[in-house]
Amino acid sequence: MRVLVTGGAGFIGSHVTRALTDAGHHVTVLDCLHPAAHRPGSAVAEVAGVPVVHGDLRDRDAVDAALAGAEAVVHQAAMVGMGVDLADLPDYVGCNDLATAVLLAGMARHRVPRLVLASSMVVYGEGAYACAEHGPVRPSPRELADLAVGQFEPRCPACARPLTPGVVGEDDRLDPRSVYAATKLAQEHLASAWARESGSTAIALRYHNVYGPDMPRDTPYSGVAAIFRSALERGEAPRVYEDGGQRRDFVHVTDVAAANLAALTALDAERPPGLRAYNIASGDPRTVAQMATTLAAAMDGPPPEITGGFRAGDVRHVVASPQRARDELGFAARVPFEAGLAEFAYAPLRA
């Protein structure tokens, strides 16, 4: 299949490009080399033998040229992470939502009927919770006053009791709680509207905490695994927010690339028009403190420092079920947590 990979020179995109090429697909890469993901002034010429076309998805002419002859798009391009502050808001909306809109309009013009969209677990906001008295509930955003005194667990909105975290399914309520999260959900809505109105098919892959070789390092947009590794390389303890008890699902980038290949294969089969979402997770959640401790041990570095600090917009627990991806895409993560971090401890990162 002739596939356009947007953002195909980035962290996840480069692994996806390699996986698709290895599987025999004819791949074109379009990437603007955004400075949040690439060293300013860098000029990536190729990925896995695929030439990189430098262009901005907000540029209709660049999109039209890249879509010529394409049968599917794997849309990885995005500005990721929590960002620095609200001054980043226009960049997030421009890079994520406006760019996606221009891409989808181009796909309609060129009648490209298949889309795999890189989405994120951040669309859920807080994960699933239950109250001993009131059953399943969705907590309100945590109060800054509670966080300041170390009350990190969400409370029941009805009785204020501590809640028991559970597992999120794809059909649970979506409740983005950061600028980045809002833009990722908007991408899903745009893709869903495009698919319905054009009679096309789309899959949204809601990535959980992706880590692995070629992660960007030393930027405000880096993932937590890269931030911790950079600290350990300097001989410093990883600094863990809150009490370290936040639960996440850390999934290796090669598994994420395999999920994209599985999704593209599923789109090649008979599917009804529209968008369907899938959690892309390992199914083996850990706390952030566990991740930091495991990485520190792998690098023979100092144990993590639990700071008690916090960031507005962070959520406490996000753990999701990967069952739908297993049942419908035939995808299951293969890289175990400990083995993946042992490799990541000394894997190359991008500046």
What is the number of alpha carbons within 13 Å of residue 27 lying toward its C-beta? 32
Contacts 24+ apart (CB under 8 A), 22-25: 22/48, 23/261, 25/1, 25/264
DSSP 309-350: ---TT--SB--B--HHIIIII-----S-HHHHHHHHTTS--B
Find the catalytic residue in 180, 211, 241, 278: 180
71 — phi, psi (to 5°)?
-110, -15
What SS3 state is found at 266?
helix
Q: Which residues of 226-263 are buried (b: 16+ CB within 10 A; e: fewer)?
A: bbbbbbbeeeebbebbbbbebebbbbbbbbbbbbbbbb
The CA distance from 233 to 171, in Å, is 41
> Where would I find the H helices in 213-270?
224-233, 253-267
| Sign of the four-CA dihedral 81, 209, 280, 243 | negative
- What is the gyration radius of the CA atoms in the chain, in angstroms? 20
Q: Map tokens 């054009």 to a residue.
A: 198
Q: Map tokens 């889309």 to a residue.
A: 115
**Amino acid identity, position 34:** H
Question: Catalytic annotation on 207?
Answer: no
CA dist list (Å): 47 to 1, 14, 35, 52, 66: 18, 6, 18, 7, 16
Are the C-beta atoms of residues 201 and 195 closer than 8 Å to each other?
A: yes
Residue 144 exposed, middle or buried by CB count within 10 Å (0-12, 13-18, 19+): exposed
Closest among 6, 7, 4 to 37, alpha carbons compared = 7
Known catalytic residues?
180
